[in-house]
Amino acid sequence: AQKVTQAQTEISVVEKEDVTLDCVYETRDTTYYLFWYKQPPSGELVFLIRRNSFDEQNEISGRYSWNFQKSTSSFNFTITASQVVDSAVYFCALRLPNAGNNRKLIWGLGTSLAVNP
Amino acid sequence: ETGVTQTPRHLVMGMTNKKSLKCEQHLGHNAMYWYKQSAKKPLELMFVYNFKEQTENNSVPSRFSPECPNSSHLFLHLHTLQPEDSALYLCASSQDERGATDTQYFGPGTRLTVL
């Protein structure tokens, strides 16, 4: 069965701290895509990154970085020097493009991040 | 307008009312989605339309009725809802839900309260 686990329900940090959000996934498919979305209080889910299963290179975008490790089935997200505007719920998701009628996104429950001034 | 828009942003309705949620995408996409987001639950996919054809109905009660007149517009018609239907309803669009690298982009959601 396919599953995404975000074990951290809530995280609270002080501004300028680094914070890592964990995501662990389960699938037997060899081809899959992993996603991170951000949901600020306004409600809109904002797409952050898509990573395919054949590309294990870590990615950095400004203060955001992602660590993909197939050996541990993890796709962790780190925010460096966090800011108050980073406060949001962050979702990790898995998609199996070759799964026929089961191509839908499989979502984690999300991690609520509070960055305090 | 850019991206995915949803109206209204907030809706309060009684159980006997009939209302509709509207979603419009300005991204040139061909697939549109309705999701329900309730507290402490994973996002629930409700309906998918790809090139105006419904490709997914995730066992949604008939009191929710989707309509997709074209690839840019998606509606969710609501009637005789229950209080447990209160949630954030999110619309999303993507290029083609069959595509390997297909990525969904979301609207701001409609916060629905059923009294």
Mean pLDDT for chain B overall: 93
Quick: pLDDT tens for B48-105: 999 999 988 888 999 999 999 999 999 999 999 999 999 999 999 999 988 888 999 9
**Cβ <8 Å between A46 and B98:** no
Read out DSSP for chain B? --SEEEE-SEEEE-TT-EEEEEEEE-S--SEEEEEEE-TTS--EEEEEEETTEEEEE-S--TTEEEEEEETTEEEEEEES--GGG-EEEEEEEES-TTSTT---EE---EEEEE-
CA A49 to chain centre: 8
- The answer, yes or no, to whether residue B16 has pLDDT greater than 90, is no
**Cβ <8 Å between B100 and A97:** yes
Q: Which residue of A has its CA nearest to B98?
A: A97
Q: Which B-chain residues 42-101 have CB contacts (< 8 A) with chain A? A: 42-43, 45, 48, 56, 88, 90, 92, 97-101
**Cβ <8 Å between B43 and A105:** yes
A60 membership: H or E segment, kind and range: strand A59-61
* Predicted local distance difference test score (pLDDT) of residue A24: 98
**Cβ <8 Å between A45 and B100:** no
Band the pLDDT of B40: cuts 50, 70, 90.
confident
Q: Mean per-residue pLDDT for B30-50?
A: 93
Quick: pLDDT tens for A47-63: 999 999 998 888 999 99
Chain A residues whose CB is inside 8 A of the B98 CB are 103
In this prediction, the residues of chain A whose per-residue pLDDT falls under 70 are 101-102
